[in-house]
A and B are shown apart, each in its own frame.
Chain A
Amino acid sequence: MTRYIIIKLARSAFTLWFVVSAVFLVLRASGDPLYSIFSLGTPESTLDIYREKWGIDKSIFEQYIIYFQDIFRGDFGTSFFDARPAWDLIVERLPNTLLLGGTTFVISVVAGVSLGAIAALMRGSKWDRGIMTVAVASFSMPSYFLGLLLILFFSLEMRWLPTAGAGTWQHLILPATTLGLTLSGTIARFTRSAMLEVLRQPYMRTARAKGASKWRQIVWHALPNAAIPTVTVIGFQLGWLIGGSVVIETVFSWPGAGRLFIVAVGVRDFAVVQMFILMVASTVIIANLLVDILYGYLDPRITITGIKK
């Protein structure tokens, strides 16, 4: 197990290095940030002062070395735009993103798994078809569009909820619902097919034969066996919750890290973009690592040697 985790960690480190380096290079190849941050027409002499101050007058190679030295010292660079450490900027926005992401996550997992299970248990019925239609519709519709539809109905027509912003629990409802709907559709579909698979297994017949209560049949025998593919999908979505809320944070003016990222990309704020990508990549990697480890618990047949090949 230890060896397995070490190998996994080494691979994760490589992935992180690759992602960070790619972002580092692409950002610098995509244009000089000075022209985005300063008004057009600012004298070049002024811009040069800032180039030197921000260290982007050096060669890309030198910048790269300095960047990695800084990372190992725990310094993720300073935002050009805000003149504050990129770490601080992102960390102070994270609670908002996590609040939105966490709510979405709870809603979508509970709704997705339950609806998927219900659809499977009632396969072929109107309810099955109904749930699956909604599920397919919800994840096919761009979340951006869905968000606007919800604003149109709940804010503009009914005047029940605020259109955008943050601060009260009402502000959370629309963005969390938009994200949650999209996500629960995916989860419901995976849960349904996994459950159908499981319900046909001999051990389900055995469970019925030995007289287990029906509730116990589902919760004890069916769901855990259907969990493997579902957990995989949910694991993928964890990273997506931080990175993928970027669009929804913009539509709903939610002051989370995703919006910070969008603005930072717009003005080529190197440190913030790099730090954000590093964070999302780490989240995805950690989530996948947890999923891998969780497999072993969910299904003892999956062993370390099995994964290692």
Chain B
Amino acid sequence: MIHFLKRLQYINTDTGNGIKRSAKALALATTVTVSLTGLLFAQAMGSAQASSDRTDLIVAMPTTWASHGPVVNSNFAARVTYSLYDGLVRRDWLSAPGGDGVNIVPALATSWKRVSPTEWDFSIRKGVKFHDGTDMTADDVVFSLNNTFGEGTELFAASGTLKTIVAKDSHTVRITTINPDPALLARLSTVMGNVVSKAYYQKVGQDAFGREPIGTGPYKWAGRIPGESVKLEVFDDYWGDKPPLNSITFREVPEVSSRIAGLITGEYDIVTSLPPTLTRPIDNDDATEIRAVAIENVQMITFRQYKKDRPIADKRIRKAMALSLNRALLADKLWAGMTEAGTYDFPGYGKYAVPERGALPFDPEGAKKLLKEAGYKGEEIRIRVVGGYYTNMTRAVEAGLEMWKEVGLNVKLDIIENWGQMGQEGDAYAASDNMWMTDPGGGMWFSWGRVGGHRLKDWGGTAPAEFLKLGTDIEQGADFDTRKKAYLDLLDLWDDLVPAILLYRPVEAYGVRKDLDWKPYTFFYMDFRAHNIKDNS
């Protein structure tokens, strides 16, 4: 600065010497004012940090959600609600090394018994408290489950087989299903099983409940600052193991680079939603690391096969599109090799899963043959993609255009802005589907077969008879062999009909402080119960 002022004195201008001195003064005034402004705000915004023996965890994610009701499925809300609620039973994700275990363990129910093919009795845990201090009883369980189907306000697909739920006494609940339901426990371990306080829910209603939820989980709601964060605090009366964290703040950090920078500087303990190809700064950092999982979801290009006058109404052309798309290459390049070509078979199906079966192969020659058989003459096929909705989707389809061109398929990409614009145009569209539950009665069957499935419209209203028969066998099958056979047949039928091209399971990559023992599960849920988090710092 002094140097600058000295220099000023020797510079000649056409406006006279005094002006130079004034310029000097002006420069000084500028510096003083700018510094003072800074100081002023510095004083106005003093900060204070609370301390505690237990960790105050900070998770940075792209956005927070407004509503945190029991069955919410937005991934940003699901990350939070996993700590707020418990169900009758819990999926023990840690029962397999990949964080995708399928064992069902007791939670709010201590034990259960199947009293007839369609009736189950659950003993409800005693001494469980809601976050507002009231006791949880069978009535709350009955209310919560009944609220997920029929006239309820928290509808969820997995509840489709339930008939009645009644309290036999204050700590026993009987669940009756419409048909024999071998997957009932798997259903109850989804968000459908989350138990809320009946009295509170009825008092405030669905919307207000979502904004200030009350469950029995290890952490209780401590408020949301819109645009900034959602905060949970430890619930000391939790029925299970003492929760290890003092509080969890889910902070909104929309920019990927800001999340990465904040993790490396130690402002955040965990950051979510990192594109797998942008993880190098964290790989190069000693104190943090990437923990990534392929989640129980499959991204796909779904055909509007009900359009009978379009080329994609012919299953040979659909199959040719699937065979000529090198999905293994896409999985490798777009997802840094952390996932593979997609199928509707998930490891989360446990003993039903058939990982050795694999996806439809990459077979451009086979595709050419099918196209020839079908008499395809280069008719245009348009795929609609909601830009930016699914990570990597636009890039995948763009790469696909070239691969399809190789075998003579004339495919065009239409990028639209949001789901509201999707309409019924085009021949196919980009979508994704969840596994939904640890049983093959979820997944494909939920979306493409069962009443209310949201892909039924792509068949033209209802699935083919054979598809429905196999799905029903899976849903109601009396024994393992029947169900498994139906499941395998259904996968074969899918590969024959190709209602959609299954791309891959998307990868969820977290950046995590290395001295934090925390394992990501193969879904969006983040588990901060005692069995999955320990701070070694």
Contacts and interface: CB of A to CB of B under 8 A. Distances in A.
B41 A169 contact: yes
Interface in B1-51: 4, 7-8, 11, 13-23, 25-27, 29-30, 33-34, 37-38, 41-47
Given A46-B155, A208-B16, A31 B419 contact: yes
Interface in B417-445: 417-422, 431
Contact of B66 (A83, A93, A118): A83
B315 to A, nearest CB: 24
B418 A30 contact: yes
Contacts of B43: 169
A86 B89 CA distance: 40
Given A43-B452, A204-B15, A156 B27 contact: no
Q: Could you say which interface size class chain A belongs to?
A: 35 or more
A33 B420 contact: yes
A298 interface: no
A252 interface: yes
Interface stretch (A211-219, A277-285, A289-297): A211-219
A226 interface: no
A268 B420 contact: yes
B12 to A, nearest CB: 8
B34 A218 contact: no
A251 interface: yes
Interface stretch (B237-245, B259-267, B350-358, B361-369): B259-267
Given A111-B30, A155-B261, A253-B255, A268 B418 contact: yes
Interface string A88-126: 010011000001000100110011001101100111110
Interface string B54-73: 00000000010011000011
A165 interface: yes
Given A107-B37, A151-B261, A156-B264, A31 B417 contact: yes
A17 interface: no
Contacts of B464: none
Given A162-B265, A217-B18, A167 B74 contact: no
Contact of A259 (B25, B38, B45, B254): B254
A199 B252 CA distance: 51
A289 B292 CA distance: 55
Contacts, number: 187
A172 to B, nearest CB: 6
A43 B7 CA distance: 73
Given A156-B265, A215-B22, A255-B225, A118 B41 contact: no
Nearest to A213: B18
B214 interface: no
A151 B257 contact: yes
B31 to A, nearest CB: 9
A40 B25 CA distance: 63
B341 interface: no
A168 B11 contact: no
Contact of B431 (A30, A40, A208, A218): A40
Nearest to A124: B13
Contact of A111 (B8, B15, B34, B265): B34
Interface in B225-244: 225-228
A214 B18 contact: yes
A252 B8 CA distance: 37
B285 to A, nearest CB: 10
A233 interface: no
A32 interface: yes
8 contacts: A39-B72, A82-B226, A127-B4, A148-B257, A156-B264, A164-B261, A168-B46, A259-B252
Pairs of residues from A and B, 5 with the lowest C-beta to C-beta distance, nearest first: A214-B18, A31-B420, A35-B419, A32-B420, A114-B30
Interface of A: 30-36, 39-41, 43, 46, 81-83, 89, 92-93, 99, 103, 106-107, 110-111, 114-115, 117-118, 121-125, 127, 148, 151-152, 155-156, 159, 162-169, 172-173, 199, 204, 208, 213-215, 217-219, 250-253, 255-256, 259-260, 262-263, 268
